[in-house]
Amino acid sequence: MSRVAYVNGRYVPHRDAAVHVEDRGYQFADGVYEVVCVQHGEVIDEDPHLDRLERSLKELRIASPMGRRAYKHITRELLRRNRVTDGIVYTQITRGVARRDHPFPAAGTPPSIVMTSRRIKPQDPKLFDHGIAVVSMPDIRWQRCDIKSVSLLPNVLGKQQAREAGAYEAWFVDRDGNVTEGASTNAWIVTQDGELVTRQLGNAILGGITRRSLLQLAADAQIKVVERAFSLDEARRAREAFLTSTTSFVTPITKLDGKPVGSGKPGPVADRLRELYYGYMDTPEPV
C-alpha cells in the first residue's frame, strides 16, 4: 500500500507530495513543525503539541491554516489511510508561496501545510539496557531555540558529528560551559547529591513535550526536579544522565565524550521515569 500525505487541503500519494519551489519554507526555512507520537492507535500528548505549534506560529507571525479540530481530524485520517497504529505524525507549516524576497509577503498569502504519517520501529531494548553515548559540541544555533523552526542545520551538523563519533546524540554547550539541550532531545542529569536536574525553559531550549509530561509525572511520584542550568563538567561528574524526546522517550546516557557517566550503566532514576512514562502513554487521552 502506498503512503498518503496531506498537502494544502488534499490527500495525495506520498510519492507525489510536493510544494512550490518558491515556498518560503524551502527558500528561507520560514516555517515551523511538530512531531507527535502514536502508540497503540493513541495520539500521545496531542493538545500540548498543538499548543506548542500554535505558539511557534504566533512567535513567527504565521497564520494558522486551520483550527484545532481540523488538525485532529486530518491526523486521524492520515493514520487511517496509512494504517499506522504505532508511529509518528509530522506537521510542517510555512509562511506560504511568494516571490523570493526577505520581508513577509503581502497580506493574504496563505500559509502552506504538509502532514505525513509513518510507522517507526520500536526502540531497541539495548538502548535502555546498556544506555547510549553522547558527544558535546558548541551551541552555534540562533537565539530563539524555543521556537520549533524548520531551520535545523546546526542540529543536522550535531547529529552527523555524533554519528561519526559512534554516538547517539550531541549535547550543545553554550558560551558559559552549560549544556542547553541535545540536537533533537532535552538533557537531564542526576547529581552526586541525588538532585534531578534539567535546564529551565527559555529562549535557549525547546520546551519538550515529553519533558513537560515527565516533570508532572515526577511531581506525582514525589521525585523532586530542579530546573536550572548545569555545566558540562557537572554532567561528567553526574551519577546519571538521560535524554527525552517524543521518539526517544527516556533514554539513559552511559557515556559522555568517550567517558563513563556514573557507573557506566543505566541508573535507577532514568529507569523509574521511563516506567512512569510508559504507563502514562498507555492511558488513553480524550479525543
Q: Cell numbers at residue 162, please?
A: 555524533
Q: What is the distance of C-alpha 161 from the center of its chain?
A: 19
**DSSP code for 150:** S
Q: Point out the catalytic residue in the list 58, 126, 148, 265.
A: 148
CA distance 45 to 242: 21
Residues ≥6 apart with Cβ < 8 Å to 279: none
What region, left, alpha or beta, does residue 198 occupy, with left being phi > 0 and alpha being psi -120 to 50 degrees?
A: beta
CA distance 121 to 123: 6
Query: Which runs of E-coded beta strand occur in 40-148?
Result: 42-43, 87-94, 112-119, 132-138
Query: Is 72 an annotated catalytic residue?
Result: no
The full length of the chain comes to: 287
One-letter amino acid for residue 95 of the chain: R
**Which of helix, strand or coil describes residue 134?**
strand
Nearest to 76 by CA among 124, 27, 42: 42
**Which of helix, strand or coil describes residue 32?**
strand
Q: What is the dihedral of CA 219, 250, 56, 142, to 10 degrees?
A: 110
Which active-site residues does the annotation give? 148
